[in-house]
């Protein structure tokens, strides 16, 4: 495990990032390219392989490549499933990447990679059971126990993004309605704001408008934080993690850590909420660092 440089790839919905970590976990090289998922499956595979080829000279002894992806590999037939980069679903991504790259690949869900990185090098250090949360283009979650990911026998452990909160809620790409992802992702927040008459705006803008007292933003953000509380309280009730680490673009919303936390406390099956809910320590780097640690 130690002694050689390691290669990690974070295959995200909008960007694909590669990293080479030295033997002590320091960053040697980092490179980021747009995923361009609209160009389709084959383009994603070949561009990922090209990125690895550029990184390999910096890690000549690396015996495998760690890759974090949205979704997970089916135990049944080795194809990818549950990815919100939907062109990857049903395709043998693991096998095709190994063939294109020419090295063994260790693949894990991107939220699990995030959780591993935060558990080992970030905000989850010193805790035994970490629930890592991604709030971004999608909503993911990963469970880490004693430094190792816990994907579960079906590779769906921690997927809180697709537990149903509102059967009459907005449709989700998974085929259900009112999933946590359909209510808590960045696009979901933007869509709720637009539907309420606020016009096009991203999460940060909506939060800023709410802070300045704009009525639509205030109402939409309050509702968002309430859903956040209901969703995360369900997780706490089932898992009772030692710490919850938030990642993804929306983890920058300060309101999650006070009013959002209050909402979790309101719905949790307990008379208090002791669970720390903390901001990630590794920022954008967690996913790719976690992939390199696989
Ligand atoms: Zn869903």
pLDDT in tens, 77-131: 999 988 878 899 999 999 999 999 999 999 998 899 999 999 999 999 999 999 9
Q: Ligand 1 mean position to 270 CA, how many Å?
A: 27
Q: Ligand 1 mean position to 172 CA, how many Å?
A: 5
Q: Ligand 1 mean position to 247 CA, how many Å?
A: 19
Reduced to 3 states (helix: H, G, I; strand: E, B; else coil), residue 122 is: coil
Question: What whole-number distance in Å separates Cα of residue 108 and Cα of residue 164?
Answer: 24
Which spans in 102-185 are helix H? 110-121, 180-184
Q: Which residues contact 94 (CB under 8 A, 6 or more apart)?
A: 73, 78, 80, 105, 107
pLDDT at 1: 44
Reduced to 3 states (helix: H, G, I; strand: E, B; else coil), residue 78 is: coil
Cβ count within 10 A of residue 189: 24
| Confidence band of 265 (pLDDT split at 50, 70, 90) | very high
pLDDT at 283: 87
Cβ count within 10 A of residue 76: 8
pLDDT at 83: 86
Residue 13 confidence (pLDDT) above 90: no
User: Among residues of the chain, what percentage have pLDDT more than 90?
Assistant: 84
158, 112 contact by CB (below 8 A): yes
Residue 255 confidence (pLDDT) above 70: yes
Phi and psi at 292, nearest 5°, equal: -65, -25
Residue 2 confidence (pLDDT) above 60: no
Q: Ligand 1 mean position to 191 CA, how many Å?
A: 16
Q: Ligand 1 mean position to 3 CA, how many Å?
A: 41
200, 129 contact by CB (below 8 A): no
Stretch (H or E) spanning 219: helix 215-239
Residue 65 confidence (pLDDT) above 60: yes
- Average confidence score pLDDT of the chain: 94
| Confidence band of 11 (pLDDT split at 50, 70, 90) | very high
Average pLDDT over every residue of 226-240: 98
Q: Ligand 1 mean position to 100 CA, how many Å?
A: 31
Query: pTM of the predicted model, to two decimals?
Result: 0.88
Buried b (16+ CB within 10 A) or exposed e, 81-116: bbbbbebbbebebbebbbebbeeebebbbbbbbbbb
Vertex 242, ends 238 and 245: CA angle to 5°? 95
Question: What whole-number distance in Å separates Cα of residue 125 and Cα of residue 145?
Answer: 11
pLDDT at 14: 84
| Confidence band of 252 (pLDDT split at 50, 70, 90) | very high
Q: Ligand 1 mean position to 199 CA, how many Å?
A: 25
pLDDT at 95: 96
Question: What whole-number distance in Å separates Cα of residue 294 and Cα of residue 292?
Answer: 6
Q: Ligand 1 mean position to 184 CA, how many Å?
A: 11
């Amino acid at each position: 495990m130690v002694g050689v440089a390691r290669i990690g790839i974070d295959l995200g919905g909008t960007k694909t990032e590669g990293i080479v970590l030295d033997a002590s976990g320091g960053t040697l090289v980092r490179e980021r390219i747009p995923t361009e998922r609209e160009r389709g499956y084959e383009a994603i595979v070949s561009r990922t392989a090209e990125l690895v080829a550029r990184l390999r000279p910096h890690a000549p002894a690396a015996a495998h490549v760690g890759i974090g992806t949205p979704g997970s590999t089916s135990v049944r037939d080795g194809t990818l499933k549950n990815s919100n980069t939907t062109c990857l679903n049903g395709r043998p991504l693991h096998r095709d990447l190994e063939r294109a790259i020419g090295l063994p690949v260790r693949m894990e869900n991107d939220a699990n990679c995030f959780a591993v990185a935060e558990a080992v090098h970030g905000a989850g250090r010193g805790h035994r059971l970490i629930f890592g949360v991604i709030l971004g283009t999608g909503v993911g979650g990963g469970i880490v126990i004693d430094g190792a990911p816990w994907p579960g026998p079906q590779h769906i452990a921690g997927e809180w993004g697709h537990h149903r909160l509102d059967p009459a809620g907005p449709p989700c790409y998974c085929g259900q309605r009112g999933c946590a992802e359909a209510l808590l992702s960045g696009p979901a927040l933007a869509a709720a704001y637009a539907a309420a008459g606020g016009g096009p705006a991203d999460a940060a803008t909506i939060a800023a408008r709410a802070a300045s007292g704009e009525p639509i933003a205030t109402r939409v953000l309050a509702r968002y934080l309430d859903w956040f509380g209901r969703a995360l309280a369900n997780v706490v009730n089932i898992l009772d993690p030692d710490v919850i680490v938030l990642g993804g673009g929306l983890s920058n919303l300060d309101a999650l850590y006070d009013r959002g936390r209050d909402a979790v406390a309101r719905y949790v099956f307990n008379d208090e909420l002791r669970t720390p809910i903390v901001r990630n320590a590794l920022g954008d780097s967690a996913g790719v660092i976690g992939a390199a640690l696989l």
